[in-house]
Amino acid sequence: MDTSLALLGEAVGKLHLPSVIKAFIYLGAGYIFARMIGFALKRWLKGVVSIHNTKLLSRIAFYLIFGLFTVSAMWELGFNLQVLLGAAGIFTVALGFASQTSASNLISGIFLLSERPFQIDDTIKVGDTVGEVISIDLLSVKLRTFDNLFVRIPNETLIKSEITTLTMFPIRRLDLLLGVAYKENLENVRDILLEIADKNPHCLDNPKPQFFVKDFGSSSVDIQFSVWAKQEGLFKTRTNILMEIKNVFEKRGIEIPFPHITLTDNRTTPAPPFITEDVSGSPEQTAKPE
């Protein structure tokens, strides 16, 4: 280590202004050329592979090309391979002690890239966080939530957590939980719901809608009506169907009950005491005769 530091100090002492200028030219030209190659690679791979793989390959190309130009700049400054390897060894040891968590995230990121449980533009759920994937990096994954918040989740957390990819498949099932009054004919309610689903252009015919009686609640018969719809505009479809169900139920006279609470006053007023007077004229309180 002492030898490497000595060689590094000797190389720094031999720097000259023309060499420094050439090194900066190498770095600038390398950065511009690497950006151009990365951009061209994105355009060439567009539509051929997934967005995730396109970004990954373009980043790899950028870092490789810029790394080669950086090595050339270091050679121009007078650094030899032995010095570079020695400095890299020192940096690696220091980095290993200082960033154990980053190393764990890096390894987890490699597993995520190889397993690919989700891609960019997918909507995922991690714990209580739901958002759209906007970036998959080696250390973390970036999400944009539905209320436009930026969330960064370390890769190690993703590896250890349960991930639900909400946009993996093109269709989803909407489970609508409803309640109708006990006086209603359930077969009639079922036919009305199937009619609503049949007229809605967003509800799919295959798989078919399903009607279930879940339970007898305290104030209603609890039912579940499940329909299948395309992934695009899923929440809008759910809202439209619920609005249609409420409007049709009101027109057809189907009651959607709500819990009723009756408050009673259980307090009792005690009877007043029976008061008599004794012969001396002083009041005397006795129990009321039965």
- The CATH number linked to 213 is 3.30.70.100
- Is the same domain home to 215 and 154? no
The pair of structure tokens assigned to 265 is 């006053």
pLDDT computed for residue 286 by the predictor: 46
Q: Give the model's pLDDT for residue 81.
A: 57
Residue with tokens 């950065």: 31
Looking at residue 86, its pLDDT comes to: 62
Write the pLDDT tens digit of every residue in 97-137. 555 666 777 788 778 877 888 888 899 999 999 999 998 88
CA 65, distance to chain mean position in Å, is 34
pLDDT at 265: 57
CA 2 – CA 143 distance, rounded (Å): 45
Residue 274 lies in a domain: no
Q: Domain of 10? A: 2-98
Residue stretches of the chain with pLDDT short of 70:
1-17, 47-53, 78-102, 259-290
pLDDT score at 130: 94
Backbone angles phi, psi at 228, to 5 degrees: -105, 140
Q: Would you say residue 156 lies in a domain?
A: yes
| Domain membership flag for residue 107 | no
pLDDT of residue 120: 87
β-sheet with 140-145: strand ranges across: 150-154, 140-145, 129-136, 123-126, 163-165
Residues 176 and 144 in one domain: no
Q: Are residues 10 and 42 in the same domain?
A: yes
Distance, in Å, from the CA atom of 157 to the CA atom of 126, rounded to the nearest integer, reads 9
Burial class (CB in 10 A: 0-12, 13-18, 19+), 177: exposed
